[in-house]
Chain A
Amino acid sequence: MKNKTNFLYDIFILATFIIGCLFLLSIYYQKDSKEKEYFNENIYTLDIAYNASVDKYHLFTKQVFNDILKNELVIPLFEKGVNSNGDIRRLYKGLLYKELYPSYSNLREEGIRQFHFHLKNNESYLRLHSPNKYGDNLSKVRETVKIANKENKTIINFETGRVMSGFRNVFPLSYKNEHIGSFEIGISTKVILDSISKLDNRREYSFILKKDIVFPKLFENHKNLYQKSIINSNFVIEDKYSSLPDSPKKLSPIAKKINEVLMGNKELKEVMNKGKKYGLFVYLDSTYYDVTFIPMWGVSKKIEGYLIAYKKSMNIPFLITNGKYIYFLVLLGMISMIIMIFIIKKKTIIFEEQKKWFKSITDELGEGLYVMNKNAIVTYVNPIACEILGYKEEEIIGKNAHILFHSHSLNNNSTHKDCPIFNGVMKTKSFSSREESFLTSDGKNIPVSLNSRMISNDDKEVQIITSFLDISIQKKLEEKSNLLTKALESSINCVVITDKNAIIQWVNPAFERLSGFKAREIIGKNPKEFTSSGEHTQEFYQQMWKTILSKKPWKGEVINKRKDGTLYDEELIITPVLDEDGDISNFVAVKQDISDRKIIALEKEQKDILFYQQSKMAAMGEMLGNVAHQWRQPLSLISSTATGSKLEKELNLLSDEDFYLRMDNINNSAQFLSQTIDTFRSFFNPSNSKKMKFDIANTIEKTLNLISSQFVSKDITIIQNIKNFKIISSENELIQVLVNILNNSRDVLIQINNQKRLIFINTFRKENLLYIEILDNGGGVDKEIINRIFEPYFTTKHQSQGTGIGLYMSQDIIKNHLNGNIIVSNESFTHDNIKYMGAKFTITILLDD
């Protein structure tokens, strides 16, 4: 668009420039034409005056010549002189001079300057005007003489000469029909100029002569009389000082000034060198002068000089005198026009850019925008409006907005005249609503928020600009927001929202209920001002702030103070809210009164202690059973060895060797008993419940040592696939768990009689977890109860056999003491080609690498 506008304006500027130039050219040609006309007239009148003067003197000289011929002595004296020599010639020449001198003397007053006799060989015979000069051959310098003698005819022409230039009238002379020479009557240029002046005295006249014509002819002594013309260096001025009587008078100062002005005129020089007639104006001292040039041709058709006429200009056409002003005005007009177009161009480009900018704004506007006239006809619609309404631009432009997309059904089926938008804006010039609906092209009603404004320009043209926004999503968001607010307000958990400086901005009713403070009392305050219980150390709070300021949520239990001063426990989660730049803008604290839970937990803890004690007791019972079982054989061995040895001693059958052997057996059995006691004591030793680093393989071996006697006696085979790992934990608690699980498996397996009783113990590592799997082939746990087996007091055994605490405690130990997990599942497997089903307990404990 910009390029197109540029191009159009450039064309316009170019057209203006061309038209201006053509206009200037037209003025130039008209001025030139007027000038030519003016000068042609000048040249014409000067030409007439010049020719009239030359003709006048030609007729006069002809008459003079005829008068001379009438003197019967002249030709004979000339003939005799020509045809003689020595003293006779001197005599006749002197007599001829004497005869003609009176006429010559008289005619000088009439402007005749020269009487000159030439021999037929062109040699100068007698100059009455310069009698001491004679005998020089004129063939090379006087073409008129040469032709007159050669062709025996009268020659009349301007011609430069050896002494001075002038208008020559050369008459051939004959005596008795024999050509004997020629006679020349010369008219000085001054005479001709005077004659022209008489005919037209408005002008001042001068002659200049062609240098290359006149200089070769001049007597050397005369060259100094000539001066180069300042108008044209190819021409010279004759007798620069006008010191000779026949020289034209000196130029007037104004004519000299005019010549100075013409000094650098190249066109004039060119014209003069070509020998053309020419005229021009010279503007000098606030006056116009016209200068006219007429060439004077020699007899050999070469320019011998120029007649120049100077005249104060009269009746100059307006176009000539004011041409430069007209040029200036036209030029000024053209420049002004171009500047104006430039300005308009610039403004248009700015306007186009603004329009483009405005369009880009309206195009990129998040809101729909359309403009309609007073008839509700849409004149402009932006892309987002098209997008919202589902129409193409051309489908909306020119249509009635009310009819096309104003949802009538949702606007009481109003007609365009009753349209609330149209009427509203027409009445009050503006209209805003969030309750309007527009109908999209696919027939869907969308809620819109709209603002209409009416503007009118100077022409009273009304335009209604309406911006609208599809607020469907906004409505939904508002609904969601309302829901969220309601949810927060309805939440039993306390919600406190602070700014990044922990200044409370919002609290929900739950917090009001919990703390006893009303929202209005605490908004704008820091919670520490009114909830701090003094139960926590400074480090506690520092740790909390350190966490949340590192943009991580903090979770913990805090004891706070109510308005009435009582303390309460709360579980607090503080979550930092980050803004778009990732900086903390707010903190959201969700807190829950855990005073009751604390009591329950305390009760549970006490209960767990009880369970633990019960479990311990049960374990002790179990252990005692195991001890008893383990002791039974060595005690029996000791007993039988002792009684047998006593009997054999009594029977004197006991050899010393047997005695020592049996003592060693008794001692070994006693050692075994002692070791068993150490093992059990170690299990029950509370100091062994501390966390320490131990090998899992060793722990499993210890476990099996505790219970193996009962498993062996029950024909239960324990198959181990143990991979050793070092863990840091409470070994005795882990042993207690393993014993519980193994005892459960034993209790299940001893009820099975028709198959092998198997227990598999596997340990392995997966990622950073230690897996301990204990799988039996006891048929598995009933699906209906498998999820309940870790509940306290849940047991499938007879009341005499089980307390229902073992697995509950095992889970508690694993989860809460060892930070691990324990799950149970049923698994079918094959061993020795026999398929089994059993329960699999999987314990996972975090390995500390």
Chain B
Amino acid sequence: MYKFLILILLFVFPFYCLNAKKILVFAPLPMKDIDSIYSQFSPMIKYLEKSLNVQVKIDHNNSYDVILQKFIEGKIDIAYLGPLPYLALESQYTHVKPLVNFKNKEGKVSYTCSLVSFMTNSIDIKNISNEKIALTQPLSTCGYLFVNNILKKSNVNLEENRYRYLGKHDEVALSVIRDEFKFGGLKSEIAKDYYHLGLEEVAHSESIPNFILVGNSKTLNKEELLNIKNKMIQIDKKELSLWHKSIKYGAKETNDSDYIHLKEIIDSTKIPHKGNF
């Protein structure tokens, strides 16, 4: 009797395994609140689940560092990263595989960061010192790296002002609206969502390679990585129309050369991991 049951189990188990869906852990950058994150990525997750026949689980983390650490530890299969987190990860983890860059409205795989302030703020950035500046995260491209770079162009030293990491881009925007900070650095696309509350762009960056979807070759094989990349590139317009505006314009295979300039900036910038007040 037991032998018979074991035989049945041996026969059934392979089929069970074949039919069991693989779980992919997806980590988006915590640029917004959780509601918004879910809202932003739900259609994409649904698409990947359907086209790859997998189950995609969101691993929400508030810290970019945590995401990168989890990725290295193999706890995350795919991640939606900004260029800076990507380059930071790439520099310390060889199994990170760039899959696609998301296009913007113009079809380019780039975005910009904006330095914003409330519309009643009349302070010129060329003359600022000791002003409160809201930053996202140390590893955020639009954070210290961008703000420092843009202020440097106006011969303003960020270190001479008071900056603090607020974590999310939208929090940067809202804190500026609430006049808790005079300036803030965040992704231009997100900043636009808050213009209706009196937020205004003071300056913006040059084109930065857009957010990237990366895969973990430690947890995914080549075929799976290629499959994800292809599925992300081959999305039809009808499907894309349901997606969040940050990713609704399609994706393109990552080109490493896009990151050369950014690498140079990063290399020349020492990013503090804590605010200075």
Contact = CB atoms under 8 A, between A and B. Distances in A.
Interface of A: 87, 89-91, 93-95, 97-98, 101, 126, 130-132, 134-135, 163-164, 219-225, 241, 243-245
B183 to A, nearest CB: 15
Contacts of A101: 174, 178
Contacts of A94: 118-119, 177, 197-199
A91 B43 contact: no
Contacts of A98: 177-179
Contact of A91 (B34, B119, B174, B190): B119
A703 to B, nearest CB: 124
22 contacts: A90-B195, A90-B196, A93-B197, A94-B118, A94-B119, A94-B177, A97-B174, A98-B177, A132-B170, A134-B196, A135-B196, A220-B43, A221-B40, A221-B43, A221-B242, A221-B244, A222-B39, A224-B42, A224-B46, A243-B34, A244-B34, A245-B34
B97 interface: no
Given A225-B38, A243-B58, A244-B35, A90 B43 contact: no
Contact of A97 (B35, B120, B177): B177
B36 interface: yes
Nearest to B190: A132
Interface SS of chain A: helix
A219 to B, nearest CB: 7
B162 interface: no
Nearest to B241: A220
Contact of B42 (A135, A164, A221): A221
B108 interface: no
B32 to A, nearest CB: 8
Name the residue in A97, A126, A241 with the highest tally of chain B Cβ atoms < 10 Å from its Cβ. Answer: A97
Contact of B60 (A89, A97, A225, A243): A243
B198 A243 contact: no
Contacts of A221: 38-40, 42-43, 242, 244
Interface residues of B, number: 31
B73 interface: no
Interface of B: 33-36, 38-40, 42-43, 45-46, 58, 60, 118-120, 170, 174, 177-179, 190, 193-199, 242, 244
Contact of A219 (B39, B170, B194): B39
A256 to B, nearest CB: 18
A93 B244 CA distance: 25
A163 B178 contact: no
Contacts of A241: 58
Nearest to B45: A224
Contacts, number: 79
A131 B38 CA distance: 16
Nearest to A126: B197
A146 to B, nearest CB: 23
A91 B33 CA distance: 24
Name the residue in A91, A94, A225 with the highest tally of chain B Cβ atoms < 10 Å from its Cβ. Answer: A94
A198 B195 CA distance: 42
Contact of B194 (A131, A243, A245): A131
A98 B60 CA distance: 28
A554 B42 CA distance: 128
A90 to B, nearest CB: 5
A224 B193 CA distance: 23
A224 B46 CA distance: 8
Contacts of B177: 94, 97-98, 131
Given A98-B177, A243-B34, A90 B197 contact: yes
A260 B178 CA distance: 48
Name the residue in A91, A95, A164 with the highest tally of chain B Cβ atoms < 10 Å from its Cβ. Answer: A95
Nearest to B42: A224
A86 to B, nearest CB: 11
Nearest to B58: A243
Nearest to A125: B196
Contacts of B45: 224
Nearest to B170: A132
Name the residue in A90, A91, A134, A135 with the highest tally of chain B Cβ atoms < 10 Å from its Cβ. Answer: A90
A91 B46 contact: no
B68 to A, nearest CB: 21
Contacts of B193: 132
Contacts of A243: 34, 38, 58, 60
A223 to B, nearest CB: 8
Contacts of A93: 196-198
Nearest to A89: B196
A177 B16 CA distance: 69
A98 B181 CA distance: 12
Nearest to A225: B38
B21 to A, nearest CB: 16
A224 B43 contact: yes
A132 B42 contact: no
Given A94-B119, A98-B179, A225 B197 contact: no
B178 A90 contact: no
Contacts of A220: 43, 242
Contacts of B60: 243
Contacts of A222: 38-39, 42
Contact of B197 (A97, A135, A244): A97
Nearest 10 pairs between A and B by C-beta? A94-B198, A132-B193, A224-B42, A94-B197, A221-B39, A90-B198, A98-B178, A94-B177, A91-B198, A221-B42
Contacts of A89: 196
Contacts of B39: 163, 219, 221-222
Contacts of B196: 89-90, 93, 134-135
A97 B178 CA distance: 7
A132 B190 CA distance: 9
A163 B170 contact: no
Contacts of A130: 33, 35-36
B180 to A, nearest CB: 9
Contacts of B199: 94
A225 B42 contact: yes
Given A98-B178, A131-B174, A224-B46, A91 B120 contact: yes
Nearest to A102: B178
A90 B119 contact: yes
B119 A87 contact: yes
Contacts of A90: 119, 195-198
Contacts of A223: 42
Nearest to A133: B193
A132 B119 contact: no
A220 B243 CA distance: 9
A241 B45 CA distance: 14
Nearest to B43: A221
Contacts of B174: 97, 101, 131
